[in-house]
């Protein structure tokens, strides 16, 4: 398994035993790669600084908080479980540019993304990412 890092799959039981902030750590990176890939695909000639400015609109805690609030009703019971675990996790980190509630909701979204990624539920993850793009295009965040 260690030799094929891109195809690692964690079973649901192992993931459920993980600290939600560990899942958020992974989910943050996966979400960032999704956003950057999406932006580069749409704006191949855009300067890197401008891509970065656009990426911030997706990844800041306020935006992630708004996204998950709008998607929450679309989550399965299992997905809601992971979102809530992340949202309710006590972090030693203090948010710089967001209030605590926004930061916690953003952590919940990242935890959910981490769970879906590690358990290789990639179709569902892709579906959520498509919903996020739709929300962005509608000016919802």
Catalytic sites, residue numbers = 28
User: Rounded to an integer, what distance in angstroms lies between the CA atom of residue 113 and that of residue 134?
Assistant: 17
Residues ≥6 apart with Cβ < 8 Å to 27: 86, 109, 110, 111, 112, 113, 114, 115, 117
CB 85 within 8 A of CB 20: yes
Q: Nearest-CA neighbor of 124 among 56, 62, 55, 76?
A: 76
Spell out a b/e string for 120-141, using b for 16 or more CB atoms within 10 Å of the CB, else e.
Answer: ebeebbeebbeebeebbeeeeb
Q: Nearest-CA neighbor of 83 among 131, 133, 128, 140?
A: 128
């Amino acid at each position: 398994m260690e030799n094929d890092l891109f195809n690692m799959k964690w079973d649901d039981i192992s993931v459920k035993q993980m600290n939600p902030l560990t899942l958020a750590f992974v989910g943050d990176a996966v979400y960032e790669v999704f956003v950057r890939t999406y932006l580069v695909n749409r704006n191949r000639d855009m300067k890197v600084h401008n891509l970065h400015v656009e990426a911030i609109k997706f990844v800041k805690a306020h935006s992630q908080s708004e996204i998950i609030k709008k998607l929450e009703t679309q989550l399965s019971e299992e997905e809601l479980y992971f979102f809530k675990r992340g949202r309710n996790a006590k972090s030693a980190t203090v948010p710089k540019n967001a209030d605590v509630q926004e930061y916690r909701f953003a952590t919940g979204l990242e935890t959910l993304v981490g769970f879906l990624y590690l358990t290789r539920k990639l179709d569902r993850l892709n579906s959520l990412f498509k919903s996020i793009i739709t929300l962005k295009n509608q000016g919802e965040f």
